A and B are shown apart, each in its own frame.
Chain A
Amino acid sequence: MRGSVAILKKELRSYFYSPVAYVILGVFLFIMGVIFAKFVDIYQRFNTVQRFGGAQGITLDKLATYLYQNMAFILCFVTPFLTMRLYAEEKRQHTLELLFTAPLKKFELVFGKFLAAYSLMVFMVVVSFIYVLFMIIWGNPELPIIATTYLGLLLALACYVSLGGLISAMTNSQAIAAVWTFIALLLLWLLQSLGQGISAKTGFVEWGPLLVFLSPLGHFNSFSEGLIHLKDIVYFLSFTVISLYFTYCVVESNRWR
């Protein structure tokens, strides 16, 4: 564990000593701000329509749900920038030799790096709580739903970051790591819509529902609707653990090459 802490501290230093962390945080909050402002605008217009006996308007809860569903998607774009350097940069700089010849267990290394990128992402999500504060001050959103949404977001982020780390461990180039992480995360999201249109069956396997289950989208959505299902928690946690385990294997295999 001591090793993980050393790695965690060093990684956080590296993030904040380069402009990376600040730029990503700034851009992320800006985009979220634009989306939030747009949603508030739509919400108000619906409410005006409703007041004059028009269609059923959206509620403040729905507003928060939409906001966070968008955020979960936007974080797919953010993740690659934070995870791309984790291992690829170490390989390029020949610093893996330092880490591998120090009395540091490989899982400590993998866990420390995961924790660093993850805590930075969590920090970003926590800062985005400003928008919720606005809703609380000027509206009356249902807080339990927001709480479950945050839980879902934290779990989803863990699986994004672990996947990004795995891809970074497989290449020497940050750019390649970023591109593949982005493609992988996007595909995972798209599996949801892809799966819904498939009714093929091979033996017991129903491909449609399987693909839907593999996508984080559905799992996240139930959190954002205020539902905590064990299967969703299991999905996110096992996704993260498996990715971290694969990362460990890839890192270990570097020694044999």
Chain B
Amino acid sequence: MIEVRNLTKKYGDRTAINQLTFSVARGEILGFLGQNGAGKTTTMKILTGFMPATSGSASIGGFDVLENPYEVKKKIGYLPETPPIYPELLVYEYLSFVAELRGVSKSERSKKIDKVIELCHLGDVRRRLIGNLSKGYRQRVGLAQALIHDPEVLILDEPTVGLDPKQVNEARGLIKNLRGEKTVIYSTHILSEVAATCDRIIVIDRGNIVAQEALNPMGATGGVVKTEIIVRKVADDLRKKITSVSGVKEVHITSNGAHRLIVESEANEEVIAEVSRVVVESRSGLIRMSPVQQALEEYYLTLITGKGGP
């Protein structure tokens, strides 16, 4: 659906993005991860036809962004970093304007507005002035704007910034629901978000792609997961038993109050299941066993600081 080849953008002699190449399949949700200033927004602006690239090419749905911007723009919905809203308009007026701009026919317009208003939970503020809305609502109006014409491709630049935790959850749910139906590129610097919503991530650092991979169901990458196990007492040979499970790489034991084991293993459900069986059979009194979410974060940090890496 989206093909990017050797895309480069220079601002003067500063290179914002350098030779990016990636593709996104139809129906896939791609997380675009990177620090502030890594080139996420620049890439998105090029994909949406807002600005041209210095070199390289990008195409969406078979249409080149530079040669056929009109066709590309019909296919995409875009939520920029700052929601492009007019404070002087009412919410539904604004959506109606965007729908008209996007070429939604008059007969369908009110139906589509109702649909996005419901989807983005804007019912309460339908007849309110956008300028008087809180940041979270504005962000949702921005999201509604990107969805109004039912685009095939959604490009969202940090869509959850400024939302409160409940709204972040709703927004994620919304994006997850689009899986399979729409192709989504989603930029963020919040890792848990990527783990929660995306099929695949691209990590970009100072304009270069430093990693590109699929997320496994356990929400980690790089083939290693950490599992935290808390037990009441540590049997003498527990560590040895766990280590002997094939696929387990390392076991750390700490005991500050409770006994806590960190098991590093292959990202494979069978391995984890085997570890849990071993722990239960050792009669150590299993209290809790949970994946360590930080795995992704650590992985990400090693990527962008250049220490180690996969």
- Tell me, in angstroms, the Cα distance from A95 to B50 when the chains sit together: 12
**A69-108 contacts to B (CB < 8 Å):** 93-105
Note all chain A residues with C-beta closer than 8 A to B80: 94, 97-98
Closest partner residue, chain B, to A104 (CB atom): B101
Q: Indicate which residue in B48, B82, B86 contacts A101 across the interface (CB closer than 8 Å).
A: B48
The number of residue pairs between A and B whose CB atoms lie closer than 8 Å in the complex comes to: 71
Q: Indicate which residue in A13, A102, A256 contacts B51 across the interface (CB closer than 8 Å).
A: A256
- The answer, yes or no, to whether A14 is at the interface (CB within 8 Å) is yes
Asked whether A101 lies within 8 Å of B100 as measured between CB atoms, the reply is no
- The answer, yes or no, to whether B159 is at the interface (CB within 8 Å) is no
Note all chain A residues with C-beta closer than 8 A to B102: 102-103
- Tell me, in angstroms, the Cα distance from A18 to B89 when the chains sit together: 10
Most-contacted residue by chain B among A93, A97, A104 (CB, 10 A)? A97
Q: Name the segment of A3-11, A51-59, A198-206, A232-240 touching the other chain.
A: A3-11
Known: A9-B100, A98-B145, A255-B52. A103 touches B86 (CB 8 A): no
Asked whether A6 lies within 8 Å of B101 as measured between CB atoms, the reply is yes
- The answer, yes or no, to whether A17 is at the interface (CB within 8 Å) is yes
- The answer, yes or no, to whether A231 is at the interface (CB within 8 Å) is no
Asked whether B100 lies within 8 Å of A100 as measured between CB atoms, the reply is no
Known: A97-B50, A98-B98. A10 touches B86 (CB 8 A): yes
Most-contacted residue by chain B among A94, A102, A255 (CB, 10 A)? A102
- Tell me, in angstroms, the Cα distance from A6 to B109 when the chains sit together: 13
Asked whether B103 lies within 8 Å of A103 as measured between CB atoms, the reply is yes
- Tell me, in angstroms, the Cα distance from A97 to B145 when the chains sit together: 12
Asked whether B97 lies within 8 Å of A6 as measured between CB atoms, the reply is yes
Known: A101-B50, A255-B52. A14 touches B86 (CB 8 A): yes
Q: Indicate which residue in A6, A95, A105, A256 contacts B84 across the interface (CB closer than 8 Å).
A: A95
Asked whether B89 lies within 8 Å of A14 as measured between CB atoms, the reply is yes
Note all chain B residues with C-beta closer than 8 A to A14: 86, 88-89
Asked whether A13 lies within 8 Å of B93 as measured between CB atoms, the reply is yes
- Tell me, in angstroms, the Cα distance from A3 to B51 when the chains sit together: 20
Note all chain B residues with C-beta closer than 8 A to A104: 73, 101
Binary contact readout B34-72 vs A (1 if CB under 8 angstroms, 0 otherwise): 000000000001001111100000000000000000100
Closest partner residue, chain B, to A2 (CB atom): B103
Note all chain B residues with C-beta closer than 8 A to A94: 80, 82, 84
CB distance from B64 to the nearest CB of A (A): 15
- The answer, yes or no, to whether B85 is at the interface (CB within 8 Å) is yes
Asked whether B98 lies within 8 Å of A102 as measured between CB atoms, the reply is yes
CB distance from A169 to the nearest CB of B (A): 17
CB distance from B292 to the nearest CB of A (A): 39
Note all chain B residues with C-beta closer than 8 A to A95: 84-86
- Tell me, in angstroms, the Cα distance from A67 to B143 when the chains sit together: 52
- The answer, yes or no, to whether B74 is at the interface (CB within 8 Å) is yes
- Tell me, in angstroms, the Cα distance from A101 to B85 when the chains sit together: 14
**A121-163 contacts to B (CB < 8 Å):** none
- The answer, yes or no, to whether B300 is at the interface (CB within 8 Å) is no
Known: A2-B103, A103-B102. A93 touches B89 (CB 8 A): no
Note all chain B residues with C-beta closer than 8 A to A103: 70, 73-74, 102-103
Asked whether A6 lies within 8 Å of B88 as measured between CB atoms, the reply is no
- The answer, yes or no, to whether B78 is at the interface (CB within 8 Å) is yes
- The answer, yes or no, to whether B76 is at the interface (CB within 8 Å) is yes
CB distance from A226 to the nearest CB of B (A): 43
Asked whether B84 lies within 8 Å of A255 as measured between CB atoms, the reply is no
- The answer, yes or no, to whether B87 is at the interface (CB within 8 Å) is yes
Q: Indicate which residue in B82, B88, B101 contacts A17 across the interface (CB closer than 8 Å).
A: B88
- Tell me, in angstroms, the Cα distance from A94 to B157 when the chains sit together: 14
Most-contacted residue by chain B among A2, A17, A96, A105 (CB, 10 A)? A17
Note all chain A residues with C-beta closer than 8 A to B45: 97
Asked whether B101 lies within 8 Å of A3 as measured between CB atoms, the reply is yes
Note all chain B residues with C-beta closer than 8 A to A6: 97, 100-101
Q: Indicate which residue in B48, B76, B86 contacts A93 across the interface (CB closer than 8 Å).
A: B86
Asked whether B76 lies within 8 Å of A101 as measured between CB atoms, the reply is yes
CB distance from A140 to the nearest CB of B (A): 46
Asked whether B50 lies within 8 Å of A100 as measured between CB atoms, the reply is yes
Note all chain A residues with C-beta closer than 8 A to B70: 103, 105
Note all chain A residues with C-beta closer than 8 A to B98: 98, 102
Lowest 4 CB-CB distances: which A-B pairs, in order? A98-B84, A6-B100, A94-B82, A95-B84
Q: List 23 A-B contacts (CB under 8 A).
A: A6-B97, A6-B100, A6-B101, A7-B101, A9-B100, A13-B93, A14-B89, A17-B89, A18-B88, A93-B84, A93-B86, A94-B84, A95-B85, A96-B84, A98-B80, A98-B145, A99-B101, A101-B50, A102-B73, A102-B98, A103-B70, A103-B73, A256-B52
A10-B89, A256-B51 given; name 11 further pairs at CB < 8 Å: A2-B100, A6-B100, A9-B97, A10-B97, A94-B84, A98-B145, A101-B49, A101-B50, A102-B101, A104-B101, A255-B52
